[in-house]
Amino acid sequence: MERNSYTQGLQIALMGDPTEENQEFPFDGSSSTGFSNPNFSQGLQGHHDVRVFGFQQSSLDDRFSQLNLNDIENPTRIVGSDFGPAPIGLLRENSFNGRHVLRSLPSQNMVVDRSPNYSPSTFIEHNVFDFDTNTQRRTPPFERPYNLCDPMRSVNVFGSTMMRPSMHDHQHQPFYSPPPRQLPRENSSYYYIPPLRELKAGDICTVAKDRDRCLALQKKLDNEVLTRGEIDMIFMEVKDHLHELMVHRFANYLIQKLFKAINNEQRTQLLLLLIRSHQRFFQVCTNLYGSRTIQKFIEIINIQEQRCILLSALKPIAITLAKDSNGHHIFEPCLKKFSSEETMHLMDGIIQHCVDIAINKSGCCALQQCLTHANDEVSEHFLVRIVANALFLSEDKYGNYVVQFVLQMGLPWVTSMIIGQLQGSFVSLCFSKYGSNVVEKCMKESEEQLSARVIMEILNDPDYLKVFGHDYGNFVIQSALLASKGHANLGIHNAIHCLIRKHYSFLQSSPFGRRILSAASKCRRS
């Protein structure tokens, strides 16, 4: 605000107070000063709060004569006493505080030299007037052309960008505002890559690790604009840094595109380099970007030799990969792309340790993928082991999802065997956070006879009332109401309603019991 008041005072000192009556604006079209700007006079019409003391209505020469430009002994006052103290920062000669440049002000009769070796020496010459070589006149700042990038931004004499304050804005404007960052376009020179023959050894790896240049190189591979010799050159550059590039956040995409562009002989060579170090291969498989690259390799390879190379490297680490958050994703494309005979050896280790894998967060997902895509023979081996450990898995944090998935497969013999394994433990499972989900799934996914067996076991237990009022057991009773409603024999459904009416007061006093009352009411209405 201090700088704005000073600037406004200097403008009024030079051009007069537009609020005075019958005041003629000195910079009109007939002015002898050599420049005009009608918008400037319009812009000052709203500044009624500015007052200039000590200046009477007079000509422009008189106004200049009243400016005390020689007063450099008192650095706190750079103009006539009527303007008040100078802004902060104009206290030392040849200093710059982010707003102004301090230099000794010239005398009133000083002749300005416009020779090629001349350099402005005053704040006014630096920031108020610029010399226009086209019209041979000094141009005020409000007549200078705007910067092409931003109509409200101009470049000052220091080469920096400065916001142009509006004539109607009394608030302080920022001295410098960096331009907004613009994302490069596809046809921009930002994506420019010199011809590959001009690149030096190791430049391809550098390009691959740069986001924009790597993207440009990928597009060249996609559009098939590279010659076979250029593709071979990229292959020769990256093969010695394969593991490093496969786990890089940008370079891994280039490796995926390259693997598709090269021929089968080069793919085989690349796979052999990949599995040469078992430790580094395992690190690639368990990395986020490396796992995605391996999955892409599996989708692309199309000959028996390449499949055998990759599967032979995956088999020793299959169990560990199944439990890894990134590695377990590799199994799904393997089961989709390769035949059952080819994946049999890979599945052997997982079948032997399927229970340990099922109770792992990532392993339970990998096991479900194996059950989905494996053939009947392999699936049967999995199901036999899961059914045998159904009770243990049902109470596990992650194993219960495997049991529920098996029940959803809709195989009657499997469902019957699981219910047989859980028989006698349904009430205890109702009190379990994870086991209660399995009990609900047994009632929903099984046939009417098997579902009735599960419900009657719960209702005939001496602790059935605890199940009604339990925070997990109440969900089992609600599911029993819905499952028994669809039975041809509604005897079980009616028996549940009888128990609800018998213990209505108890259920009404329990927050979980009220949920059962609400579910029973909805069943009667429907």
Average pLDDT per block of 10 residues along the chain, 526 residues long: 51 50 42 43 43 48 55 44 43 45 43 46 41 44 42 42 42 48 44 57 84 89 85 91 95 95 95 95 97 96 93 94 95 91 90 95 95 91 96 96 95 95 95 96 92 93 92 94 83 90 91 90 79
- Give the Cα separation of 487 and 448 in Å (integer): 6
Amino acid at 73: E
Could you tell me if residue 446 is inside a domain?
Answer: yes
- Give the Cα separation of 282 and 291 in Å (integer): 10
Q: Given this model, what pLDDT does residue 487 score?
A: 79
- Give the Cα separation of 200 and 422 in Å (integer): 68
Strand duo 161-163 + 153-155: pairing: antiparallel
Contact 373, 350 (CB under 8 A): no
Q: How many domains does the chain have?
A: 1
- Give the Cα separation of 106 and 67 in Å (integer): 11
Q: Given this model, what pLDDT does residue 36 score?
A: 43
Residue position matching structure tokens 């595109």: 257
Buried b (16+ CB within 10 A) or exposed e, 190-228: ebebeebeebeeeebbebbbeebbbebbbebbeeeebee
Could you tell me if residue 477 is inside a domain?
Answer: yes
Q: Given this model, what pLDDT does residue 260 score?
A: 94
- Give the Cα separation of 18 and 12 in Å (integer): 8
- Give the Cα separation of 81 and 66 in Å (integer): 10
Compute the C-alpha angle 65/143/26, nearest 5°: 40
Could you tell me if residue 281 is inside a domain?
Answer: no
Domain that holds residue 422: 410-525
* Per-residue tokens: 369: 């993928």
- Give the Cα separation of 243 and 127 in Å (integer): 58
Q: Given this model, what pLDDT does residue 120 score?
A: 47
Q: What is the pTM of this model?
A: 0.63
Residues in the chain: 526
First and final C-alpha spacing in the chain: 73
Phi (first) and psi of residue 153, to 5 degrees = -130, 135
- Give the Cα separation of 94 and 122 in Å (integer): 9
Could you tell me if residue 306 is inside a domain?
Answer: no
Could you tell me if residue 482 is inside a domain?
Answer: yes
Contact 328, 365 (CB under 8 A): yes
* Per-residue tokens: 433: 């956070």
Inter-CA distances, 239 with 152, 257, 268, 289, 427, Å: 52, 14, 12, 17, 60
What DSSP line would sit under 53-122, residue for residue?
A: SS--S--HHHHHHHS-TT--SSTT--S-GGG-SPPTTTTSTT-B-SS-B--PPPPTTPPPP-STT----S
